[in-house]
Amino acid sequence: MTDSSTPSPVTLERDGGVAVVRLNRPDAMNALDTATKESLLGTLREVAADDAVRCVVLTGTGRAFCVGQDLKEHIRLMQQEGASLGSTVVEHYNPIVELLATMDKPVVAAVNGVAAGAGASFAFAADLRVLAASAGFNMAFTGIALSCDSGASYHLPRLVGTARAKELLLRPRTLSSAESLELGLASEVVPDEEFEAHVHEVARALAAGPTKAYGAVRRAVAYSAGHSLSESLAHEAELMNSTGATADHAAAVAAFLAKEKPVFEGR
């Protein structure tokens, strides 16, 4: 029987077209135990499938964004025959990152505190990373003799380049918000006291935008990273045709002709 007095490890807050998915284990610095991973995966599937959600914000409660795998639980699982990190990577981490990176709407990582290991990888899968000034990143994996996971080998080199990505993975350290911004890991850095309000403003603006166009841009960028110029141009043409047929594009054209600001409905 579930104890209803136990806080959910992941909460979902809706505000118009914005869905805030919040890791909610502040006493454990939002470390990822099995219950948290399962709840996060289920919540992301829910918001990804909901057309009323036009922007997703991933953030944490307390002083950490997410410090990655819950090592206390991991030690217990290591003592069980057949238990391995490989299984949770396949069952939890991989689908979580795929959802963050490919859902048909923009995703903002609101990095309220330290993001380490898989927590950093989750943030890298988002479109924008807004960091509180006190926040930072640490790749952490090799510090506990593990390879990287949750898309770190895919997203990190695309953000900072291959050489710098290997340096950060081979010699993990905590990067300040200022250094994260300089390296391109942060989209912007906001003073702690302004962080929540600014994230809300960014998310509301995205939620009021042309959602289908945003989703198409996400797919175009991801596709072009692994295909030739000719293939990418052909894919862009397909996406231009699909977005050109949306109600939002028709509204934008009509607003332009009327010299008015368009109102987008996300369809």
Q: Specify the pTM.
A: 0.93
Question: Tokens at residue 104, please?
Answer: 């048909």
Residues 44, 199, 12, 94: what is their CA dihedral angle, to the nearest 10 degrees? 20
pLDDT confidence band for 113 (50 / 70 / 90)? very high
pLDDT at 84 > cutoff 90: no
- Residue 1 reports pLDDT greater than 50: no
The pLDDT of residue 2 is above 70:
no
Radius of gyration of the chain (CA): 19
- Sorted by where each starts, the structural domains of the chain and their CATH numbers stand as 10-207 (3.90.226.10), 211-257 (1.10.12)
- Give the residue with greater pLDDT, 77 vs 92: 92
Q: How confident is the model at residue 87 (pLDDT cuts 50, 70, 90)?
A: confident
Residue 4 pLDDT > 90? no
Residue 20 φ/ψ, nearest 5 degrees:
-100, 115
Q: What is the mean pLDDT of residues 173-181?
A: 97
* Per-residue confidence band for 81, with pLDDT thresholds at 50, 70 and 90: low
Whether residue 203 is predicted with pLDDT greater than 90 in this model: the reply is: yes
Within 10 angstroms of residue 266's Cβ, the number of other Cβ atoms is: 22
Report phi then psi at 246, rounded to 5: -85, 160
Q: Tell me what pLDDT residue 239 has.
A: 98
Give the pLDDT score at 73. 76
Classify residue 245 as exposed, middle or buried by CB count within 10 Å of its CB (0-12, 13-18, 19+).
exposed
